[in-house]
């Protein structure tokens, strides 16, 4: 087409476009269509009239359209502002019932704490501890009831308290995964402590001074704990009331909302920690000033977390945030035929685990019951002499420890407990018991994984697949048991710190060795050679995948141990009348069963991650899928009478 004909054919359309661009309000759909048509005409002109003025003209219009569409695109600062002004208020409005429930549960438990103190003078010692009560009484007698807030430097106290409060809030939120019951228990526990704490000062005749001092930081701090509980209830609601969605899908949505609420209280905890470290100690400040400051903090919480969401929600001014695409629940497939990154393999681990949770979870619980029954039934020693479960805290006396010291002590305690499950002089048959249990867990997990992978492996023809006989499974189990026995003997002859240094490097290699023997039906020596062949140049990928799953496993074990287990023990102690010795024995037996059950649930995560990575390593070194596709180029297949190329 000649240029003059092209211009004559489209000039009316272009003129209309220019008029629309001058308007203030243009339909977004029309603007989108306009941009597509203009860019099509611009492409045509660039091809056939590259040096003519029509190309410059159309390029100018395209730039104007592009600017009209993207001039309001959010910047990083805009997204940050949008979260605090629109997204978080919307999530709070959507979770208003959970907020109300958290508030009234806290107030009820707060009243229970005060009433318990009024009825029992020893109750504060039960919930606050003798050391703290005695120290506070000494401070009151010396004329400075709030001296506890002046014992450390401002900065160190602020950082320590902030970290401790964030940890408490995280536990309160995370326990919502147990159908919101864990969150409610933690909220009640903290509210009773606050009520007892406040009434104790009232009994000592220093209520006003304690109120004006404690609530300078406590207004934000306690409010944030209640909001964290609301976030945990929001997350747990998806499990309790899934609606028309599956329970997993509903939990994914509710967990996102809960996480957003938690993000909203992080700055509050930081500010509260600063106030407690720098301002709470200023007890000589006039009472009116302190009272006004407390009122200002309370006003902020009420305005932002109650008034603003309710006002905008009732007026219909809150715009729902664009949620990410909800993943499929039952139709998620694992692709075994391509090379994947460690992150992709890590995601596949949870897809595999979810599909086989009933079999793996049932075996883990049965194994924990079997382990506990064998150990406590066939050893003469008392349970308290076999295992020790120390509790770690972020305080040492009246001092807050650093987060690094706390995590190190906690990690060392966990490693010591886990090590005692494998190495214990009082249980002579522990090596055989652990070898049998972990061989069963490994064999079942690998069997599930191999069956899943065989459905996707198109490079292996059906007639060439090894026949799975009973003897085949017996041999696989024997090979797995041999490797695990070697590992257990190593654990017996090593200190726990040696295990920490060696296992993260050696254990994933052993897992890959076991999987190759089961998958490729090879012997011990051949399988070991294949292991080093596939790992040459890719050991970093193996270590990265293993460390990702190991981090998640340790985190889950820490959350379970610090919260769920001890909550269970305290509930039992409050409802059963037992001697201290019987209570200690019961606690050790319960902790052993729950800890080993969690350990046996985490173990399949670790070995399935390495098993899934095997298929990526195979594609990197040998590319069986690519070779199969190359061989089948041009080949025709006949499917139900139809030819498919």
- Whether 318 shows a pLDDT value over 70: the answer reads no
pLDDT value, residue 333: 75
Which two tokens mark 4?
């003059």
Report the pLDDT averaged over residues 131-140.
Answer: 86
As a whole number of angstroms, the distance between CA 459 and CA 457 comes to: 6
What count of residues does the chain have?
Answer: 645
3-state SS, 123-145, equals: HHHHHHCHHHHHHHHHHHHCCCC
Q: Is-contact 456 617, C-beta < 8 A?
A: no
CB count, 10 Å around CB of 570?
13
Report the first-to-last Cα separation within the chain, whole angstroms.
39
Answer whether 0.85 is exceeded by the pTM.
no
Beta-bridge mates of residue 637: 644
pLDDT value, residue 482: 93
- Whether 66 shows a pLDDT value over 80: the answer reads no
Domain extent listing, the chain: 3-70, 155-321, 342-536+590-630
As a whole number of angstroms, the distance between CA 348 and CA 498 comes to: 31
- Whether 293 shows a pLDDT value over 60: the answer reads yes
Q: Is-contact 609 549, C-beta < 8 A?
A: yes
Q: Which of 80-94, 136-150, 366-380, 456-470 has the lowest mean pLDDT?
A: 456-470
How many Cα atoms sit within 13 Å of 15 on the Cβ side? 6
- Whether 267 shows a pLDDT value over 80: the answer reads yes
CA angle 325, 326, 330 (to 5 degrees): 140
Q: Is-contact 446 517, C-beta < 8 A?
A: no
pLDDT value, residue 332: 65
Given pLDDT bands bounded at 50, 70 and 90, which one contains residue 76?
A: low
Given pLDDT bands bounded at 50, 70 and 90, which one contains residue 69?
A: low
- Whether 330 shows a pLDDT value over 80: the answer reads no
Q: Is-contact 429 378, C-beta < 8 A?
A: yes
Given pLDDT bands bounded at 50, 70 and 90, which one contains residue 440?
A: very high
pLDDT digits over 35-56, tens only? 777 777 877 787 777 777 777 7
Beta-bridge mates of residue 396: 399
Beta-bridge mates of residue 400: 395
pLDDT digits over 380-428, tens only? 888 888 888 766 554 444 444 444 555 566 666 767 777 788 888 888 8
Report the pLDDT averaged over residues 262-274.
Answer: 90
Cα torsion 358, 360, 361, 365 to 10°: value is 130
Q: Which residue has the higher pLDDT, 216 or 425?
A: 216
As a whole number of angstroms, the distance between CA 508 and CA 542 comes to: 7
Given pLDDT bands bounded at 50, 70 and 90, which one contains residue 642?
A: very low
Q: Which of 276-290, 546-560, 566-580 has the lowest mean pLDDT?
A: 566-580
pLDDT value, residue 498: 65
Percent of the chain with pLDDT over 70: 79
Nearest to 427 by CA among 481, 372, 482, 480: 372
DSSP structure string for 543-603 = HHHHHHHHHHHHHHHHHIIIIIIHHHHHHHHHHS---HHHHHHHHHHHHHHHHHHHHHHHH
pLDDT value, residue 645: 41
Given pLDDT bands bounded at 50, 70 and 90, which one contains residue 459?
A: very low
Report the pLDDT averaged over residues 147-155.
Answer: 73
CA angle 517, 523, 524 (to 5 degrees): 85
């Amino acid at each position: 087409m000649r240029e003059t004909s092209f211009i004559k054919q489209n000039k009316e359309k272009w003129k209309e476009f220019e008029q629309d661009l001058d308007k203030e309000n243009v339909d977004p759909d029309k603007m989108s269509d306009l941009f597509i048509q203009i860019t099509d005409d611009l492409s045509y002109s660039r091809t056939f009239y590259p040096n003519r003025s029509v190309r410059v003209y159309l390029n100018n219009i395209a730039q104007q359209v592009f600017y009209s569409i993207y001039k309001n695109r959010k910047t990083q600062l805009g997204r940050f502002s949008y979260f605090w002004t629109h997204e978080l208020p919307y999530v709070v409005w959507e979770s208003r019932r959970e907020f109300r429930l958290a508030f009234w549960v806290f107030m009820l438990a707060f009243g229970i704490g005060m009433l318990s103190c009024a009825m029992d003078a020893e109750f504060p010692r039960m919930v606050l501890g003798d050391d703290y009560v005695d120290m506070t009484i000494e401070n009151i007698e010396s004329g400075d009831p709030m001296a506890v807030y002046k014992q450390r430097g401002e900065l160190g106290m602020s950082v320590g308290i902030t970290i401790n409060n964030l940890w408490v809030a995280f536990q309160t939120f995370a326990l919502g995964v147990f159908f919101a019951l864990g969150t409610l228990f933690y909220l009640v526990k903290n509210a009773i402590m606050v009520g007892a704490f406040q009434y104790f000062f009232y009994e000592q005749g220093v209520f006003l001074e304690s109120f004006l001092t404690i609530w300078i930081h406590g207004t934000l701090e306690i409010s944030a704990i209640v909001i964290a509980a609301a976030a945990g209830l929001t997350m747990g609601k998806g499990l309790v009331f899934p609606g028309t969605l599956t329970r997993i899908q509903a939990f994914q949505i509710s967990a996102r909302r809960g996480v957003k609420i938690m993000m909203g209280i992080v700055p509050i905890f930081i500010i509260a920690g600063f106030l407690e470290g720098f301002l709470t100690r200023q007890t000589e400040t006039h009472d009116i000033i302190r009272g006004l400051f407390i009122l200002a903090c309370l006003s902020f919480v009420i305005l932002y977390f109650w008034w603003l969401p309710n006002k905008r929600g009732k007026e219909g001014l809150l715009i729902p945030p664009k949620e990410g695409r909800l993943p499929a629940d039952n139709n998620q497939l694992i692709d075994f035929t391509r090379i994947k990154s460690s992150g992709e393999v890590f995601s596949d681990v949870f897809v595999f685990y979810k599909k086989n949770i009933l079999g793996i979870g049932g075996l883990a619980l049965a194994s924990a019951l079997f382990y506990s029954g064998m150990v406590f039934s066939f050893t003469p020693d008392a349970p308290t002499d076999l295992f020790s479960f120390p509790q770690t805290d972020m305080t040492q006396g009246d001092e807050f420890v650093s987060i690094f010291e706390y995590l190190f002590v906690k990690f060392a305690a966990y490693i010591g407990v886990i090590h005692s499950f494998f190495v214990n002089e009082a249980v002579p048959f522990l090596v055989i018991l652990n070898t049998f249990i972990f061989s069963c867990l490994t064999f079942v997990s690998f069997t599930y994984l191999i069956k899943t992978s065989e459905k996707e492996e198109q490079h292996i023809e059906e007639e060439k697949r090894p026949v799975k006989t009973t003897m085949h499974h017996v041999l696989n189990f024997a090979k797995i048991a041999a490797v695990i026995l070697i590992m257990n003997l190593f654990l017996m002859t090593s200190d726990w710190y040696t295990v920490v240094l060696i296992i993260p490097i050696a254990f994933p290699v052993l897992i890959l060795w076991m999987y190759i023997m089961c998958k490729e039906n090879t012997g011990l020596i051949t399988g070991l050679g294949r292991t080093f062949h596939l790992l040459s140049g890719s050991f970093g990928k193996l270590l990265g995948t293993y460390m990702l799953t190991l981090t998640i496993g340790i985190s889950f074990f820490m959350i379970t141990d610090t919260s769920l287990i001890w909550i269970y023990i305290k509930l039992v102690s409050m409802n059963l009348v037992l001697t201290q010795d019987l209570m200690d024995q019961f606690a050790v037996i319960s902790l052993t069963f729950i800890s080993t059950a969690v350990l046996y649930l985490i173990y399949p995560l670790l070995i399935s991650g390495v098993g899934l990575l095997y298929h990526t390593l195979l594609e990197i070194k040998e590319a069986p899928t690519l070779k199969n596709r190359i061989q089948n180029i041009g080949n025709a297949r006949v499917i139900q009478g139809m030819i498919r190329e």
